[in-house]
A and B are shown apart, each in its own frame.
Chain A
Amino acid sequence: MNSEVFIEVFRDPWLLEWRSSLLLVSMGWLVAIACGWLGVMLLLRRIAMMGDTLSHSLLPGLVIAFLITGSRATWVMWIGALVAAGVTIVLIELIQRYSRIKADAAMGVVFSFMFALGVILITLFSRQIDLDADCVLYGELLYLMVEPGVHWMGVTLPPAAWLRMVVIAALVIVFILSLYKELLASAFDNDWAGSAGLPNRFTHHTLMAILSLTIVSAFEAVGAILVVAMLVFPGATALLHCRRLPLVLAATSFHSLVISLAGFHLSIWLNVSMAAAMATVAMLWMISIWSGQKIKSKKKDNLTCAT
């Protein structure tokens, strides 16, 4: 990378267009934190697939909401997506309760069914529908820059999608901190937590409700791929090197920042979508943390051998 490119990729965004740069990076961070914190809870419960499942299952909800109302307004899509998420969660629970199918298989079954249903509906009614499938899957953070800011009491605030994401991220953090005990105990030892009188079902259902809300909001802003990536990467990376849950959550927030900042610059450098760049960076970042871990533990082993 010569110095001209360097300046263009790393300096100019912050010098010439710092407002939109800040908007984009902070949006990436908000999504990554909200998804990352929830992702930690999913990983600890061994249902990381839940994010994948939910985000693919929204499709028929979007299509049906559109077919019923003929509108593509945000709130219509929202309701369609939330209903689809609710149906998905209920189906998974029913399958698990009434058959011997385990959680991961139940999620796989429901998610392929829902996605297929969405595809069939789109094909059947293709004349009425013009949902942009690419946009649904990959999303485009850059739309944030063309979206007008919200005017409120004479000041121009950032766009509505950004404000919504702030609320969602705050909700996720408040939820996890206030149900910390219940989430921790039921993830560690579900049966025991139930025997000790902790409200396992309430905890699980609240987690699922907030997860659906987060996925639907983030999905609209950044697309399915990034949502799924952020549900897994920051948390999985933090779990590689942290031994206690509070540290895991702190590290998840830090990794989220690294991923969105580096993803932003990578997307400018290669001129690609920021969501895809963030997902790529997340993988590279996880590999570097993991290699760092390996090298460190090797050194330690050598030391102990030497003494």
Chain B
Amino acid sequence: MSPLEFHDLTVSYRQKPVLYGIDACFPTGALVGIVGPNGAGKSTLLKAGMGLVPMSSGWVRFFGEPLAKVVRRVGYVPQRNAVDWDFPVNVRDVVMMGRYGRLGLFRRPGKLDRRIVEDSMERMGIGNLGSRQISELSGGQQQRVFLARGLAQQADLYLLDEPFAGVDAATEEAIVVLLRELKQQGRTVVVVHHDLGTVERYYDHVLLLNMRLIGFGPTQEVFNVENLRQAYGGQLNVLSRLALQRARTTEG
């Protein structure tokens, strides 16, 4: 059963469609990069999947079921800037929220939950920051906290929205290691990604998006000049041209 399947998904913001007829069926255990220019609808695709924006047609299934039925198996890590960082919680509190969905109403976190939280922080290299108030974190540390919260959810499918935005090389490396670990454990990971130069190294599958689905499949088949040109049109900047160059040489 595919962990994530979109069928004929269309999403509009105030009558203006931003995603048309997306069909995609994600294989289990894949590490998928979602790539496309700004405003392509990458975040919207994840949000529509998670039921955070209404879709005007089509459906989404997780593990063959509607989201509500399998919500504990799905972990969503939103873009980092979406919260008030002055909120009166420390790092440990935020990571513990990852356990809340599993606990259910009126149940308090127990020993197991606390251990999972410590492990998740350790794995993200923020084990020593547990008591830090979240406003006292750097951007990279904030991203690690969000990922640790996701880890604490122990989901089988992860949807990450731009985890690499604004992080330094060390954090980027730590996140890549995490993604590979999750894949090795048989989990499916879907990542919105911006840096075309690293797509081939990081992901085994790529979904190219620009309002429509341009291409979806194993990286070496889909990540090619033609598709990229279709997705980015005239907007290809120097960096992406570089990537194209490389795509060309590997092809030739």
Contact = CB atoms under 8 A, between A and B. Distances in A.
B169 interface: no
A101 B103 CA distance: 35
A147 B222 CA distance: 80
Contacts of B52: 191, 194-195
Given A188-B83, A188-B97, A243-B133, A195 B88 contact: no
A192 B101 contact: no
B133 A192 contact: no
Contacts, number: 77
Contacts of B72: 197
Interface stretch (A14-22, A130-138, A179-187): A179-187
B214 interface: no
Contacts of A239: 88
Interface in A166-220: 178-179, 181-182, 184-185, 187-189, 191-199
B219 interface: no
A247 B88 CA distance: 9
Interface string A229-253: 0000000000100111101100000
B53 to A, nearest CB: 10
Contacts of A191: 47, 50, 52, 78, 82
B138 to A, nearest CB: 18
22 contacts: A44-B88, A181-B100, A181-B108, A184-B89, A188-B87, A189-B78, A191-B47, A191-B50, A191-B82, A192-B97, A194-B51, A195-B50, A195-B51, A196-B71, A196-B100, A197-B72, A199-B105, A243-B90, A244-B89, A245-B89, A245-B93, A247-B88
Interface of B: 47, 50-52, 68, 71-72, 74-76, 78, 82-84, 87-90, 93-94, 97-98, 100-101, 103, 105-106, 108, 133, 153
